[in-house]
Chain A
Amino acid sequence: MSAGSLRIALVGNPNCGKTALFNQLTGGRQKVANYAGVTVERKEGRFTAPSGRVLHLLDLPGAYSFDAASPDEQITRDVCEGVYPGEPAPDLIVCVADATNLRLHLRFVLEVKRLGRPVVLALNMMDTARRRGIVIDVPELQRRLGLPVVETVAVKRGGAQALIERVDGEVPPAAMAQADDAASRADLHAQVRELLAATVAMPRATAAIDDALDRWALHPVFGLGILAVLMFLIFQAVFSWAQPLMDGIEAGVAALGGWLTSALPADSALHSLLNDGIFAGLGAVLVFLPQILILFLFILILEESGYLPRAAFLLDKLMFKAGLTGRAFIPLLSSFACAIPGIMATRSITDPRDRLTTILVAPLMTCSARLPVYTLLIAAFIPQRTLWGLFNLQGVVLFTLYVAGIVSALAVAFVIKRFRKDKSEHALLMELPSYRMPNVRDVALGLWERAKIFLKRVGGIILALTVLLWFLSSFPGPPPGATGPAIDYSLAGRLGQALHYVFAPIGFNWQICIALVPGLAAREVAVSALGTVYAMSGSDDTVASQLGPLISQQWSLATALSLLAWYVFAPQCMSTLAVIRRETNSWRNVAITAGYLFGLAYLASLITYQVARALS
């Protein structure tokens, strides 16, 4: 250890506010949430203490015990013990405990102390504890524990001052390392009881507000009703609130494209690349930023408030019957935003079988990258009508697509359960944390992160594929005297026509076939690709905003419905397959996922197309 720097590991039970404390100290920008196991990645930050010393802070996953029950807890234990490959042992462990829940959290503090490393205890959420009338004799607790104890309020500015001052001072001496066996483990509870009796006075075991809210939120009838209404409202909002913002972006992109290309000669290749390639392609995707952000806004607020584990509680039985677990609700709900964080969040599922099933069905949740495709098709083919004087027909169709994804995920999970050989018991054992008012700063940071990721995708992979597609659909140029649109003669046109043989039975035309190929990299690319393909085949300049009206003239309703059905299932996302490979360490699982999803997609589209044609 150099004199100028110090490596600090942050540990604690899930829901102790550790990640918020990490944000407070480092100004780090990552997700803070209120359900067990959100911290699934290694997070490191640094800050300079008043003394000028640089402190490296490592945020470790929440753990109930070092008797690890999940990959999360295993990482925490290995890092603390200094045996994690590539991770030097920390110079100091800051153990964070929720001051309102010391009976549970102190036990882990004692476990950490037994490691025999320097430890500082941070009593977090001291403001809430005081409000609830909980009195903690901190000097006495410090004396009995033999550890420095500081008070923190992670969600308040300056709430970590005492901790900063403490870690900036002398490193406290390490306690004596103690063996870890069943007898000493049972002894920990006795020690906790003794400590609590001597140092903590609690007027009431739980917050009155939690009891009142849970009476409604967990009620067998009202609870499910609240959950259903909440989910439905989110999807209605995604559709209706975003509209004005989307119109604004559309107009802005069209104006910018027109202004930028007005100086170029209209028949030059550069004009075509900018107008047909970049603005038509990227504009078509950029328009969906508001919808994605509104969806994430709701997910972040639900996460922060502590409601999600309640939803998991309500749905556990249903999901268990289908071969999943209530815990899978949280990763699966994240998958509505994007399957990648969803699949990574499965690390908090303790049972490896439950975890694998959840990973395999996560791509069936309607991720936000499908929204561009859905919105485009729904806006073009489904009339703006009010149903039963209450619902917007377009919103109802969107909701149906989401339900189709959920129902098929349950069905697939059920099939997996039937085929599984190991039928031993699966555990739930899930903590329901206190309700919390979502912190505006944390939600805003989360949204900003999401917007950045989306814009990076637009500026990176989507831009690159759009330009590539423009080249493929421009070259080779048409022979002299050709009458059809230039794209018919290009590489992309020929590829689309070849693929058309496979996709004709499900009603896809060759333009869709072209769009599906770059759309393998990311779903929303299909929309930008369609924008480019149609702009290239049009006689005049067709910008993104006109893609909807254009396809509504050229496609049959059956084709549109078939493409919607395709997108409910098709694994058109390389990143998802890559993350499945990484999280399960198996190409077999990747092949199974891709295979069953493409199979279901083709089957669903075939049925949809043939039925819709027969009916019309």
Chain B
Amino acid sequence: MRLSDLPKGSPAVVDRVDDAHAGDPIAQRLRDLGFVEGEPVRLVARGPLGADPLLIQIGSTRFALRRSEAARVTVRTEVAA
């Protein structure tokens, strides 16, 4: 599932970040900011207009990502153990 499709509040784990094109700087920055395999993420809020941007919590940091940015991140939802 893409991070941009994640329902609000449900916990998930980052699978990978895909480059939208070769040498995609946005994807590289996402990885630098900690969007790497195995990190838990959560959708905290959506922007008021067109549900964009998204407020994503990763670790103890919150980032505002536009939908197109969040779409680069693939996540898997954890099944409650």
Interface residues, chain A, with chain B CB atoms under 8 Å away: 64-65, 67, 69, 100-104, 107, 185-186, 189, 193, 202, 205-206, 214, 218-221, 223-224, 309, 312-314, 316-318, 320, 326, 425, 427-432
Contacts and interface: CB of A to CB of B under 8 A. Distances in A.
A67 B28 contact: yes
A313 B47 contact: yes
A431 B63 contact: yes
A431 B34 CA distance: 12
27 contacts: A64-B29, A69-B25, A100-B60, A101-B59, A104-B33, A104-B60, A186-B31, A186-B36, A205-B60, A206-B60, A206-B62, A214-B44, A218-B45, A223-B48, A313-B47, A313-B55, A313-B64, A314-B47, A316-B64, A318-B49, A320-B66, A427-B26, A428-B65, A429-B29, A431-B62, A431-B64, A432-B64
B40 to A, nearest CB: 9
Contacts of A320: 66
A317 B47 contact: yes
A148 B49 CA distance: 47
B76 interface: no
Given A67-B32, A214-B45, A220-B46, A104 B61 contact: yes
A64 B33 CA distance: 7
Given A103-B59, A186-B36, A313 B53 contact: yes
Nearest to B61: A104
Contacts of A317: 47-50, 52-53
Given A206-B62, A218-B45, A427-B29, 18 more contacts: A64-B33, A69-B25, A101-B61, A102-B60, A104-B59, A189-B39, A223-B48, A224-B48, A313-B64, A317-B53, A320-B66, A425-B26, A427-B26, A427-B69, A428-B66, A428-B69, A429-B26, A432-B64
B10 interface: no
B57 interface: yes
Helix, strand, loop or mixed for chain B's interface? mixed
Contacts of B28: 67
A103 B44 CA distance: 18
B78 to A, nearest CB: 15
B30 interface: yes
Contacts of A206: 57, 60, 62
Contacts of B59: 101, 103-104, 205
B32 A316 contact: no
Contacts of A429: 26, 29-30, 33, 63-65, 69
B5 to A, nearest CB: 18
A290 B20 CA distance: 51
Contact of B55 (A64, A107, A221, A432): A432
A431 B55 CA distance: 9
Given A107-B34, A186-B36, A425-B26, A432 B62 contact: yes
Contacts of B61: 101, 103-104, 431
Nearest to B60: A205
Contact of B48 (A64, A69, A221): A221
B52 A316 contact: yes
Contacts of B25: 69, 427
